[in-house]
């Protein structure tokens, strides 16, 4: 069973545009939802995270929107920059482990 | 800034050989994890480790895999008899408290394992 579903698989955005990546989760016991950014050849690095008692969290150009009833959460990258080009993974924590989405490869065109 | 380190960065081995992947977690962290990422695919949980024993493991973590914290600083993943399908990037992570208790994970740069 796929615990976390992520879409789209890839995304191309023009510089200055908004990048939106969506995730849906299965288990209501999940209690923490991070987003990771991964550059080629590197390990995932925490970007921003949210808990289910909050509907939105913003850190700089990055915002997580969380819909508990729909079991969905999304990452919005405002004013996307070429340096944001990377693979983004959503994750959900439960049962002492993290379940990752399948990843979204973001390409921000100059 | 403290970071998780992993060695080697790339390991090439023959099918059937044993490999040991090494990690040095952040020094005051108590929980340790191994994940793998097959090329182009998602990150998959393998095992979590606390207080010198396995806390959780996935169905991927079968009898061919073992983990150990041989001293106060290293955390190792051993694959006894490697298969072609073990070729992947292996990430170590550590956290100060358990993932279920609010612990944020910090990932190492990974070891790329290539099984020929």
Name residues of chain A where pLDDT drops below 50. Answer: none
* B90 pLDDT above the threshold of 90: yes
Please report the pLDDT score of residue A2 as a whole number: 67
Q: Tell me if chain A has a CB within 8 Å of the CB of B5.
A: no
Inter-chain touch B110–A42, beta carbons under 8 Å: yes
Inter-chain touch B42–A46, beta carbons under 8 Å: no
Strands A104-109 and A10-14: parallel
Please report the pLDDT score of residue B101 as a whole number: 56
- Written as one string, the DSSP assignment of A77-88 is ESS--GGG-EEE
Please report the pLDDT score of residue A10 as a whole number: 96
The enclosing H or E element of A49 equals strand A45-50
């Amino acid at each position: 069973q796929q615990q976390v579903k992520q879409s789209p698989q890839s995304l191309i955005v023009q510089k200055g545009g908004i990048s939106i990546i969506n995730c849906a989760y299965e288990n209501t016991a999940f209690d923490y939802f991070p987003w990771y950014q991964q550059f080629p050849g590197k390990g995932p690095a925490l970007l921003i995270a949210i808990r289910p008692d909050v509907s939105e969290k913003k850190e700089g150009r990055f915002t997580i929107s969380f819909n508990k009833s729909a079991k969905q959460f999304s990452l919005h990258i405002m004013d996307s920059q070429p340096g944001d080009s990377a693979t983004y993974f959503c994750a959900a924590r439960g049962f002492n482990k993290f379940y990752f989405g399948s990843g979204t490869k973001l390409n921000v065109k100059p | 800034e403290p970071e998780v380190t992993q060695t080697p960065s790339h390991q090439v081995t023959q099918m059937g050989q044993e490999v040991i992947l090494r990690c040095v977690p952040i020094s005051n962290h108590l929980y340790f994890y191994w994940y793998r990422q097959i090329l182009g695919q998602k990150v998959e949980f393998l095992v979590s480790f606390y207080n010198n024993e396995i806390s959780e493991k996935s169905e991927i973590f079968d009898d061919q895999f073992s983990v150990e914290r041989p001293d106060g600083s290293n955390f190792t993943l051993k694959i006894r008899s490697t298969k072609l399908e073990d070729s992947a990037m292996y990430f170590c992570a550590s956290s100060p408290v358990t993932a279920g208790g609010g612990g944020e994970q910090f990932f190492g740069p990974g070891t790329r394992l290539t099984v020929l």
